[in-house]
Amino acid sequence: MGFRFSKRITIIPGVRLSISPSGLSTSIGPRGLSMTMGKHGTYLNAGLPGTGLSYRERIDRPRSSGSTASGPGDYSGSVKLSVEDDGTLLLTDLDGNELPTAVIKRVKVEQAYAIQDLLERAAQKINTELEQCLGVHLPTPAPNTPPAIPAPFPIDPPSPPVIQDPSLVDRLLLRSARMEALTQAAEAQYQSDLLDWTAARDTHEKDRADIEKAFRLAAKGFSAQMEAALDYVLSGIAWPKATQVAYAFTQDVTGIALDVDLPDENEVPRRTAEARGNGKLSFKNRTDAQVRRDFVALCHGSLFRVVGEVFALLPAIQTCLVSGYIQRTNPATALVEDQYVMSAMVTREQWGGIDFQRLAELDPAATFIAAGARVSLDRSARFREISPFELSDLD
């Protein structure tokens, strides 16, 4: 079987066309809450590593001018709140020294709602990582769904400087020359900023026009534009875990073979969090069996998303051969090798039978099994290596 072209692209979660890994960290040990209590008010400075959550907010009511200190409960220094690995709150000063019991009690009582709200948001942020893995297929578009065109250049042009003519007083005080020099400098800076803005806008609009053209011609079956359009769409997906896709079209450009380098087995989140209303962030470890099932769901969902993007973007494609592989250590050689664990041949007709309005109720694994996918799990829900479909099967 001949191929007109092939392409490998790297898909990094959350960042377009960047080789820097990004996304949510699977290392959860949140620390970094700080609360500043001083004469200017009480501020909660929140930053939980592993969650991306941070903000600064005033959480007290301004005191009246007649308020005075009346004991250790009116401590006005800084208070640092740390969350231990077991979810327990630890209150210290900024140097990590223990605070008076009255201060700890005051903070927990007066700021209970603010602390609980923060912990709830932190728990939600932590749990989002697992939700994204298990729901990776949910944004899959229906067949022949028009792709989204990039938005017009979003930055407003720079504003010209305000020219102020020297007044009579300025002339009498000999300030005219200095004012003129400042005006010229401001005008020069404006012209420079305008040139930079114009260049950025023109580049953006050219890229936008090229993408629109690629989408239009790809829909008509032009092979080169099909490649450009598919590169753009796949590289723009915010995958929950780093994924690589290699693909090749058949000679008549009616079929496509896709190889998906799936995430590693140890990348699925193992902990969830819950704020139970007791001022404590509780963590729950998922069992090994649950994690293995989660990984299987992530792999099926990832392949489902790739196939869906192809059928939505490229009307000429009638058959998708999609295979997924992972890296495992060969016990006989101790070498890390690619092992295929999933492979399926899906036609456009089969894909058209899916109700894309109810993807939350769909099981991608069942979809591929119904299409005759090659996949095998052992008793512990761990992938076995399989022999994928051959490229010649597309003919």
Confidence (pLDDT) at 20? 26
Residues 121 and 12 in one domain: no
Residues 221, 370 within the same domain: yes
3-class secondary structure for 20-60? CCCCCCCCCCCCCEEEEEECCEEEEEEEECCCCEEEEEECC
pLDDT mean for each 10 residues of the chain (395 residues) = 37 30 28 48 51 48 44 61 69 80 81 79 86 96 93 93 77 76 89 95 95 94 93 92 92 94 91 80 90 96 97 96 94 91 96 96 97 95 94 85
290: in domain = yes
Question: For the whole model, what pTM was predicted?
Answer: 0.72
Which structural domain, as residue segments, surrounds residue 352?
Answer: 3-23+208-238+240-394
Same domain assignment for residues 9 and 66: no
* Boundary of a domain, candidates 134, 154, 186: 134
Distance CA 41, CA 323 (A): 59
Do both 88 and 17 map to the same domain?
no
CA distance 222 to 232: 16
Residue 70 is assigned to a structural domain of this protein: yes
Backbone angles phi, psi at 18, to 5 degrees: -125, 140
Does a structural domain hold residue 155?
no
Residues 314 and 386 in one domain: yes
Is residue 46 in some structural domain? Answer: yes
Same domain for 8 and 115, yes or no, is: no
Residues 71 and 7 in one domain: no
**pLDDT tens by residue, 140-161:** 999 999 999 999 999 999 999 8
Are 15 and 81 in the same domain? no
Among the three residues 103, 134, 165, which one is the final residue of a domain in this structure?
Answer: 134
Q: Indicate if 127 and 252 belong to the same structural domain.
A: no
Instruction: State whether 11 and 126 are in the same domain.
Output: no
Out of 77, 99, 134, pick the residue that ends a domain.
Answer: 134
**Residue 383 gets which letter from DSSP?**
B
**Domain presence at residue 376:** yes
* Same structural domain, 373 and 227: yes
Q: How many domains does the chain have?
A: 2
